Amino acid sequence: MIKNAPLAPLTTLRIGGAAKQLWRVDSEDECVAAVRQLEQDREPFFVLAGGSNVVIADEGFDGTALHLVYEGAEHQQRGDGRFAIDASAGDDWSLLVDALVEAGLSGVECLAGIPGSVGATPIQNVGAYGQEVATTIEAVRVYNRAAQRVEELSAAQCGFGYRTSALKGNADLVVLAVRFVLERSPLSAPIAYSELAAKLGVELGQPAEAEAVRAAVLELRRAKGMVLDERDHDTWSAGSFFTNPILSAADFARLEQRVGEHCGAGAQPPRFEAAGGMLKSSAAWLIEQAGFSRGEQRGQVALSSKHTLALTNLGGASAAELIAFAREIAARVDELFAVQLRPEPALIAIEW
């Protein structure tokens, strides 16, 4: 246990104060025991693993940060030829994707280069380039604090949606491990993202060599500052700061009207079909139409010079600076387009 532990070095943003104490968790059993002990002591806590999708207040956290550092993934071939991979919550997601693709397993190749831990992937239903972990997750092992037992949740029980799940915001469920089921194939899943299809030279809906898909995704992500690089401050971020808005047909019609008024006749917001008859638009496009530019700064915080969805730390930035800039962006988008942008990272001791 480390007292008054700085948390900024454990995050990709490199922002935030100290926790009252940091508990490094080296196994699944220790994670369960730690949670039970902290509950018995009535000590507030939060779980920290890869630190890639979190913003911690400058004042820090008046409680315990449970730092998951345990790793280990087991592969098991099934009778149908598919493979089940049980991965620990503390495993590095990007390294796991690399290993799975290199082993000839298909289904997560579009998710290469995403920083963070395996345990975070079902919470956020991590996705990129037309692929989500929801399509390959069979089950999530959790410690249920309310029931005081370890449970296994099926994919259906996880309630996956766009960048969300039944696990998100549910403090009673602590993710311990995730089981993925993948195909043995040299080919990827069908390509569902036009930018990636164009990069690979294939039609939408067609597969490609999984290794080529992984390489193309990494190249696209690097061009957007979305692959961690100590030397590149554009990667000192929490990834995309806002989720793409999901709107009803009526709200999307209102957005189209507002876009026409602000951007001129003929201007159209990006439009994609979403579940339940909803429509998805582009947060990055709305931010740019609201007048914000790549590289725009507020103190030591800036929009990435490569991608307007990432808020970055130029060196020495504070959480207060970052949140203030994020609120400014969201307020302007709401004022112009009547769309409320929502933060994607977890905010620790910060009110949105």
Above 90 in pLDDT, residue 92? yes
**Looking at the chain, which residues constitute the CATH 3.90.78.10 domain(s)?**
233-348
Above 90 in pLDDT, residue 60? yes
Above 90 in pLDDT, residue 79? no
**Looking at the chain, which residues constitute the CATH 3.30.465.10 domain(s)?**
73-223
Which one, of 240, 29, 215, lies nearest residue 112 by Cα? Answer: 215
Residue 58: which pLDDT band, with cuts at 50, 70 and 90? very high
Above 90 in pLDDT, residue 84? yes
> What is residue 220's three-state secondary structure?
helix
Q: What is the DSSP letter of 33?
A: H
Instruction: Identify the pLDDT of residue 265.
Output: 83
Over residues 326-336, mean pLDDT: 98
What DSSP string runs through 70-98?
---EEEEE-TTS-EEEEEETTSBHHHHHH
Q: Which residues are catalytic?
A: 163, 240, 344
Residue type, 256: E
Percent with pLDDT over 90 in the chain: 96
The single residue listed with the structure tokens 């189209």 is 256
Above 90 in pLDDT, residue 151? yes
Over residues 120-138, mean pLDDT: 96
Residue 168: which pLDDT band, with cuts at 50, 70 and 90? very high
Q: Contact, 101 vs 112, CB < 8 A? A: yes
Over residues 165-177, mean pLDDT: 96
Residue 1: which pLDDT band, with cuts at 50, 70 and 90? confident
Which one, of 186, 218, 213, lies nearest residue 202 by Cα? Answer: 213
**pLDDT tens across 254-299, in order?**
999 999 999 988 899 999 999 899 999 999 999 999 999 999 999 9
Above 90 in pLDDT, residue 81? no
Segments of 167-283 assigned E as strands: 173-184, 246-247, 272-273, 279-280
Q: Contact, 252 vs 277, CB < 8 A? A: no
Token pair, residue 210, equals 């999984």
Residue 309: which pLDDT band, with cuts at 50, 70 and 90? very high
Over residues 69-84, mean pLDDT: 93
Task: Judge: domain 73-223, CATH 3.40.1010.20.
Answer: no
Above 90 in pLDDT, residue 96? yes
**Looking at the chain, which residues constitute the CATH 3.30.43.10 domain(s)?**
2-68
**Topology of domain 2-68, per CATH?**
3.30.43
Determine phi and psi for 166, rounding to 5 degrees: -70, -15
Segments of 133-285 assigned E as strands: 137-144, 149-154, 173-184, 246-247, 272-273, 279-280
Percent with pLDDT over 70 in the chain: 100
Which one, of 258, 305, 298, 248, lies nearest residue 278 by Cα? Answer: 248
Chain-wide mean pLDDT for the chain? Answer: 96
**Topology of domain 233-348, per CATH?**
3.90.78
Q: What is the DSSP letter of 161?
A: B
